[in-house]
Structures are given as C-alpha cells and as structure tokens.
Amino acid sequence: MDGPDKAQHLTSTQRVSEAGAVELISGPERDLLCVLSYVYLACGQSDKSLALLRLVAHEQSQDVGLLRILAYALISERRGDEALSVLDKLDKLDDEPSSCLPLMLMRSHALRHAGRMTEAQAVFKRYVLLRGSTASIEQK
C-alpha cells in the first residue's frame, strides 16, 4: 500500500525515516534492548545478548556503540568470522582514537575463534606493543 495514507497503517512501534524506510524500533526501545543485552553479557548469557543485539543491529547497522557490543557478544559466542565482519565495519565507522586498542584486542580474539591463529598472534603482539608504548607515555 503506497501513497499518502501509508503512514496511517503503521503500528505504534513503527516509524518512517527521512529516507522512507520503516523503522520498527524506536530510540527508547533500542536503548532498552541494548541495556538488556549488556546485562545478559555481564551475566555470562551471551547467547541471549546476541539475540537481542541482532534485532537492533538489523536496523541500526551504522551505530558504533551497538556494533561494539555486537562484536563482543559474537566473540563471547565464539563466532569469530561474524565478529570479524562487524569489526571490519567498525574500522570504517569508529574514528575515536581511544577505540583503536580495544578493537585490536577484540580482533585478535575474533581471529582466534575463526581458527586463524597466526594472524591472531600477530595482532595480539601488536596490541601488546602499542599498549606498552601508550602506558609509558601516560606515566610521563
């Protein structure tokens, strides 16, 4: 059903973005799902966390904070290849200098879970080297 009446037929949880796409999850609902997923992760229930995050990630695929939690949940569930895909997206979107080291550490874990041990070790060694140089700069 296209036309001017289209917005009238949406349910209360659906929104229409400026691009015309239907958004099924509002901002507060997104925040609640992210908080719940974070609590599940903290309680060691990464499978439940991942289920919630997949719901949100479907619509919020450019949200850096969401992608960080999603990558962590995927690593917790030993889904290395999927985590690497999310981390690749984060490399393009996340321009915060403080994110470099945590993302590097997550990448080494994701590579390990993907069975790419040589790459995982190389990334981890680079992480340790950079972390050590950052720590010495902060102590000065």
Q: What is the mean pLDDT of residues 108-136?
A: 91
Identity of residue 116: R
Q: What is the mean pLDDT of residues 110-122?
A: 97
| DSSP-derived secondary structure letter, 15 | E
- Name the one residue in this structure whose structure tokens are 């609640």: 32
Average pLDDT of the chain?
A: 81
What is the reported pLDDT for 60? 67
What is the reported pLDDT for 80? 95
* Domain boundaries 13-139, CATH class: mainly alpha
Q: What is the mean pLDDT of residues 91-113?
A: 92
Q: What is the mean pLDDT of residues 76-81?
A: 95
> Could you tell me the pTM of the whole model?
0.74
**Residue 60 near residue 66, CB atoms below 8 Å:** yes
| DSSP-derived secondary structure letter, 10 | S
Model confidence at 56: pLDDT above 60: yes
Lowest average pLDDT, out of 25-29, 63-67, 134-138, goes to: 134-138
Number of other residues whose CB lies within 10 A of the CB of residue 85: 14
Give percent of the chain with pLDDT exceeding 70.
76
Cα(73)–Cα(124) distance, rounded to whole angstroms? 19
Cα(38)–Cα(45) distance, rounded to whole angstroms? 10
Q: Where are the domains of the chain?
A: 13-139
Model confidence at 19: pLDDT above 60: no
The alpha carbon of 130 is separated from its chain's Cα centroid by a whole number of angstroms, namely 23
Q: What is the mean pLDDT of residues 16-44?
A: 75
Model confidence at 28: pLDDT above 90: no
Helices (H) and strands (E) in the chain, counts: 6, 2
